Amino acid sequence: MTRTVYLNGAYLPEAEAKVSIFDRGFLMADGVYEVTSVLDGKLIDFGGHCVRLARSLSELEMQNPHSDAEWLAIHRELVAVNAIEDGMVYLQVTRGNPGDRDFAYPSDDVTPTVVLFTQAKPGLADNPAAKVGIKVISIPDIRWGRRDIKTVQLLYPSMGKMAAKKAGVDDSWFVEDGVVTEGTSNNAYIVKGNKIITRQLSSDILHGITRAAVLRFAVEAQMEVEERAFSIDEAQAADEAFITSASAFVMPVVEIDGAAVGAGKPGHVVARLREIYLDEMRKAAV
Ligand code: PDD
């Protein structure tokens, strides 16, 4: 079965969805994106992704081409026609095709390019990695200064994933001024006793939708939350560590730069947070 994707108002077989070579997403990475997970055919934390999309667009002076209700309808249609039980919907809006290459933004009459597609990931919530945990290395964070905008300029995160792969581990954590900013495609946390520590929000990191939900659930579960930066040394000496993202949910980190975290296997705080997160988000899915 060929996948049906969405391009500028049309639902098309993926091979028929074509975008101009002059599109600024292609030439300038001038675009933003969102990834929403699907569990049991329903969208996880959809409202949060809509809010962040609107903010990313507005920070780049781009019009939001759809209302939240329209975005929801498109997401639901793609999930239905592609029969997605577990997986994700990828959404991208670029500034469109001004007809030629130019650094300056084109005038407002250039319509944005809107692309959405699904990815099936059967058993997404039962990812075996959650049982054993992942290993990370640290690398310098040399990304630009507006990491709070979810842009499609993902080359350095890709290089970070490749550095991890070459080192025989699962992912990289970015370090700047001696402290961790975030993972290549996720937010980073450590656990000390009953306390969850994660970097405070600023333009240094992406404001994770999963992060917001997990911190809320942690407080509700009587855990303490401290929003501050931590170093690799502190993380290696922590009781537990983890990452969050829309696709990994809550994922234990058991090794950092070759040093085991805690007992070197997933701890009970992270396991509990993952369970609460999945339970609550399934209940609220749309
Ligand atoms: N990545 N930090 C970065 C740099 C990210 O790219 C992501 C998400 C996150 C977590 O945000 P959220 O909880 O809203 O997914 C943090 C997505 C999943 C991706 O690029 O595939």
3-state SS of 100-127 is CCCCCCCCCCCCCEEEEEEEECCCHHHC
For the CA of 157, the nearest atom of ligand 1: 4
Query: Which pLDDT band, with edges at 50, 70 and 90, does 152 fall under?
Result: very high
Is 56 near ligand 1, meaning CB less than 6 Å away?
Answer: no
**Rounded Cα distance, 232 and 253, in Å:** 13
The predicted pLDDT at position 132 comes to 98
**Rounded Cα distance, 101 and 24, in Å:** 8
Which of 270, 180, 163, 181 is CA-nearest to residue 172?
163
Taking CA atoms, 58 is separated from 51, 150, 203, 261, in Å, by 11, 12, 15, 40
Residue 211 Cα to ligand 1 middle (Å): 10
- For the segment 36-46, the average pLDDT, to the nearest whole number, is 98
> CATH fold of 4-123, please?
D-amino Acid Aminotransferase; Chain A, domain 1 (3.30.470)
**Rounded Cα distance, 45 and 21, in Å:** 33
| Chain centroid, CA 27 distance in Å | 23
Which of 37, 34, 33 is CA-nearest to residue 249?
37
Is 187 near ligand 1, meaning CB less than 6 Å away?
Answer: yes
- For the segment 42-49, the average pLDDT, to the nearest whole number, is 98
> CATH fold of 129-284, please?
D-amino Acid Aminotransferase; Chain A, domain 2 (3.20.10)
For the CA of 210, the nearest atom of ligand 1: 13
SS3 of residue 72 by DSSP: helix
- For the segment 220-239, the average pLDDT, to the nearest whole number, is 98
Residue 166 a catalytic site member: no
Give the start-to-end residue ranges of the domains of the chain: 4-123, 129-284
SS3 of residue 140 by DSSP: strand
Q: Is pLDDT at 155 greater than 90 in this prediction?
A: yes
Q: Token digits for 257?
A: 């730069």
Q: Is pLDDT at 88 greater than 90 in this prediction?
A: yes
Residue 187 Cα to ligand 1 middle (Å): 7
Residue 212 Cα to ligand 1 middle (Å): 12
Q: Is pLDDT at 128 greater than 90 in this prediction?
A: yes
Which of 143, 144, 170, 140 is CA-nearest to residue 156?
143
Is 206 near ligand 1, meaning CB less than 6 Å away?
Answer: yes
Q: Token digits for 53?
A: 């999309």
The predicted pLDDT at position 83 comes to 98
For the CA of 248, the nearest atom of ligand 1: 18
- For the segment 261-275, the average pLDDT, to the nearest whole number, is 97
Residue 106 Cα to ligand 1 middle (Å): 28
Q: Token digits for 108?
A: 């407002």
94, 31 contact by CB (below 8 A) = yes
- Catalytic residue, chosen from 135, 150, 161, 265, is 150
Is 182 near ligand 1, meaning CB less than 6 Å away?
Answer: yes
Q: Is pLDDT at 1 greater than 80 in this prediction?
A: no
| Cα angle 170, 244, 155; round to 5 | 55
Nearest CA to ligand 1 atom 20: 185
Query: In the block, which residue shows the tokens 């080359």?
Result: 155
Average pLDDT score over the chain:
97
Pick from 155, 158, 161, 187 the residue to mutate for probing ligand 1's pocket: most ligand atoms within 8 Å of its CB: 187
- For the segment 84-104, the average pLDDT, to the nearest whole number, is 96
Query: In the block, which residue shows the tokens 């005038």?
Result: 107
Residue 236 Cα to ligand 1 middle (Å): 23
Two domains, one topology: 4-123 and 129-284: no
Is 254 near ligand 1, meaning CB less than 6 Å away?
Answer: no
DSSP string across 36-90: EEEETTEESSHHHHHHHHHHHHHHTT----S-HHHHHHHHHHHHHHTT-SSEEEE
Query: Which pLDDT band, with edges at 50, 70 and 90, does 249 fall under?
Result: very high
Q: Is pLDDT at 108 greater than 90 in this prediction?
A: no
Residues in CB range of 238: below 8 A, 6 or more apart: 190, 191, 192, 197, 230, 261, 262
Nearest CA to ligand 1 atom 16: 186
Taking the whole predicted model, whether its pTM rises above 0.85 is answered as yes
Q: At 194, phi and psi to the nearest 5?
A: -100, 10
Is 185 near ligand 1, meaning CB less than 6 Å away?
Answer: yes
